[in-house]
C-alpha cells in the first residue's frame, strides 16, 4: 500500500498548506524585485539609460535563477538524508533573511560600485536557498497525497504557491506604495518591501510547526523496498534515471521560463510599457494571480484524469500558439484601457499555469 494513501486527511491538508505557503513565501521574496525594478535601477546603477538600469535589475533576478539548480541539488540531497521538513525550514529561512538584507543595501551614491556588488551577492545567496525551497516544498506535498490526486497537489503547489506569493507581493506593494507615495517610495518604500521578508519568515516558521514529515520519506526502508542512496545526485545521472531526469529538467525549465516571461514580467510591463499607475497595477495583479491559482488547480485535475503527457500536449501547444500574439496585442493598449489589459493578462495567466501545472 502506498504510504501516501495511508496518510490521514489532516496530514494531507497540513502538508498541502505547508507546501503552498512555503513556495508562496519563497516566490513572494523572489518577486519583490520585479515590483521595485524601475525604482532601484537608478539607485544602484548610475547609467543615464533607463533600459540599462532595468537590465541590471533583471540580470540580478537572472543570477538568482541560475543558482537555483545548485540549491536544488544541495537541498534535495539534504532532504533525502534528513527529511523534507527540515530542508524546507532551512531553505525558507535562508530566502527570507537574504531578502530582508537586500533592503539594507546602500545606494550607489552612498557606496559607489560596492552597492550593486552587494546586491548581486545577496541575489546569488538567495538563489541557492530558492532552489532548496523548490526541492522540499513540492516534494513534501506530492509525497503526502495519494497517487490519484498528485496532479491536483502538483497544480495547487505550483499554481497556488505562485498565486499566493504574487498576490501577497501585489498587496504589500499596494500598501507600501500608498504609505510611501511618490519620491518617498524611492527613499524608504523599496527598502520596506524587502524588509517584509522577515514577516514571511515568521509565517513560514508557524506553518512549519504544524506540518508532519512526508510519509514516503519517514517510512522505514524495509517497508518501501528501497535503501537511501549514498549519492542521490549520482543516482539521478545513472543509466536508469538519466533520460527521465533530463526530460523533466526540460519540462520544468520551459514552464519556469513561460511564467517569468508572462506573469513574472507583468509588474514591469504594466509600469514601463503601458504606463499604468502603481496602485491600479497592484489591484490588477491581485486578480491576475488569483487566476493563476485557478489555472494551476484546473491543469492538475485534468492531469489526474487524462494523464500528465496528454495534459502537457492538450494545453501546452495551444498556449505556445496563443500567448505570443496575445502579449503583443496587450502591448498596444494604453493606460486607460485597464479592462482590456486585465482580460488579456487573465487569459495568458490561466493558460500558462494550467499547461505547466503537472510538472
Q: What is the pLDDT of residue 225?
A: 47
The mean per-residue pLDDT over the stretch 320-331 comes to 92
pLDDT > 60? residue 226: no
Q: Does residue 225 form part of some domain? A: no
Over the stretch 169-205, which tens digit does the pLDDT of each residue have? 888 888 898 899 888 999 999 999 999 888 877 777 7
Which stretch of 60-64, 154-158, 223-227, 320-324 has the lowest confidence by average pLDDT?
223-227
In the predicted model, is pLDDT for residue 100 greater than 80? yes
In the three-class reduction of DSSP (H, G, I as helix; E, B as strand; rest coil), residue 60 is classed as helix
> Is residue 129 a part of any domain in this protein?
yes
Burial class (CB in 10 A: 0-12, 13-18, 19+), 104: exposed
| pLDDT number for residue 221 | 55
Q: Average pLDDT, stretch 11-39?
A: 78
User: What mean pLDDT is reported for the chain?
Assistant: 83
* The residue to which cell 498548506 is assigned: 17
Q: Within a domain: residue 281?
A: yes
**CA–CA gap between residue 236 and residue 334 (Å, rounded):** 49
Q: Per-residue pLDDT for 212 more than 90?
A: no
User: Residue 247 domain-assigned?
Assistant: yes
Tell me how far apart the alpha carbons of residues 31 and 28 are, in angstroms, rounded to a whole number.
5
Asked if residue 226 belongs to a domain, the reply is no
In a domain, 315, yes or no: yes
CATH number at residue 37: 1.20.1250.20
Tell me the Cα Rg of the chain. 20
State the CB neighbour count (10 A cutoff) for residue 125.
18
User: Is the pLDDT reported for residue 1 higher than 50?
Assistant: no
Residue 3 forms part of a structural domain: no
Asked, for residue 23, whether it belongs to a domain, the answer is yes
CA atoms within 13 A on the CB side of 250: 6
Cα–Cα distance, 183 to 203 (Å, whole number) = 31
CB 123 within 8 A of CB 59: no
Average confidence (pLDDT) over 217-227: 56
Q: What is the percent of the chain with per-residue pLDDT over 90, rounded to a whole number?
A: 19
Q: How far apart are CA 182 and CA 296, in angstroms?
A: 36
State the pLDDT confidence band at 228, using cuts at 50, 70 and 90: low
User: 114 pLDDT exceeds 60?
Assistant: yes
Question: How many separate domains does the chain show?
Answer: 1
Q: Note down the domain range covering 22.
A: 9-219+231-356
Amino acid at each position: 500500500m502506498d504510504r501516501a494513501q495511508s496518510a490521514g486527511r489532516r496530514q494531507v491538508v497540513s502538508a498541502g498548506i505547508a507546501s503552498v505557503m512555503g513556495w508562496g513565501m519563497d516566490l513572494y521574496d523572489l518577486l519583490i524585485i520585479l515590483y521595485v525594478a524601475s525604482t532601484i535601477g537608478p539607485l544602484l546603477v548610475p547609467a543615464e539609460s533607463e533600459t540599462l538600469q532595468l537590465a541590471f535589475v533583471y540580470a540580478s533576478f537572472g543570477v538568482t535563477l541560475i543558482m537555483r539548480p545548485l540549491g536544488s541539488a544541495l537541498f534535495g540531497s539534504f532532504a533525502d538524508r534528513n527529511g523534507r521538513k527540515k530542508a524546507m525550514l532551512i531553505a525558507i529561512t535562508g530566502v527570507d533573511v537574504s531578502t530582508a538584507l537586500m533592503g539594507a543595501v546602500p545606494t550607489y551614491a552612498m557606496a559607489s560600485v560596492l552597492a550593486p556588488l552587494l546586491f548581486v551577492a545577496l541575489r546569488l545567496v538567495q538563489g541557492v536557498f530558492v532552489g532548496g525551497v523548490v526541492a522540499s516544498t513540492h516534494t513534501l506535498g506530492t509525497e503526502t497525497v495519494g497517487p490519484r490526486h498528485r496532479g491536483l497537489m502538483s497544480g495547487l503547489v505550483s499554481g497556488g504557491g505562485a498565486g499566493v506569493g504574487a498576490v501577497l507581493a501585489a498587496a504589500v506593494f499596494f500598501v507600501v506604495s500608498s504609505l510611501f507615495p511618490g519620491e518617498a517610495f524611492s527613499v524608504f518604500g523599496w527598502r520596506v518591501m524587502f524588509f517584509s521578508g522577515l514577516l514571511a519568515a515568521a509565517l513560514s516558521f508557524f506553518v512549519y510547526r504544524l506540518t508532519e514529515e512526508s510519509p514516503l520519506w519517514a517510512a522505514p526502508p524495509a517497508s518501501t523496498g528501497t535503501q537511501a542512496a549514498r549519492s542521490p545526485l549520482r543516482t539521478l545521472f545513472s543509466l536508469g534515471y538519466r533520460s527521465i531526469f533530463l526530460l523533466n529538467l526540460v519540462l520544468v525549465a520551459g514552464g519556469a521560463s513561460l511564467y517569468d516571461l508572462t506573469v513574472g514580467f507583468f509588474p514591469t510591463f504594466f509600469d514601463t510599457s503601458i504606463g499604468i499607475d502603481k496602485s491600479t497595477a497592484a489591484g490588477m495583479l491581485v486578480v491576475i494571480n488569483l487566476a493563476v491559482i485557478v489555472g494551476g488547480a484546473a491543469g492538475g485535475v485534468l492531469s489526474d484524469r487524462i494523464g500528465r503527457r496528454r495534459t502537457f500536449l492538450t494545453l501546452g501547444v495551444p498556449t505556445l500558439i496563443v500567448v505570443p500574439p496575445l502579449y503583443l496585442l496587450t502591448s498596444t493598449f494604453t493606460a486607460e484601457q485597464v479592462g482590456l489589459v486585465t482580460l488579456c493578462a487573465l487569459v495568458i495567466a490561466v493558460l500558462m499555469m494550467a499547461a505547466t501545472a503537472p510538472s
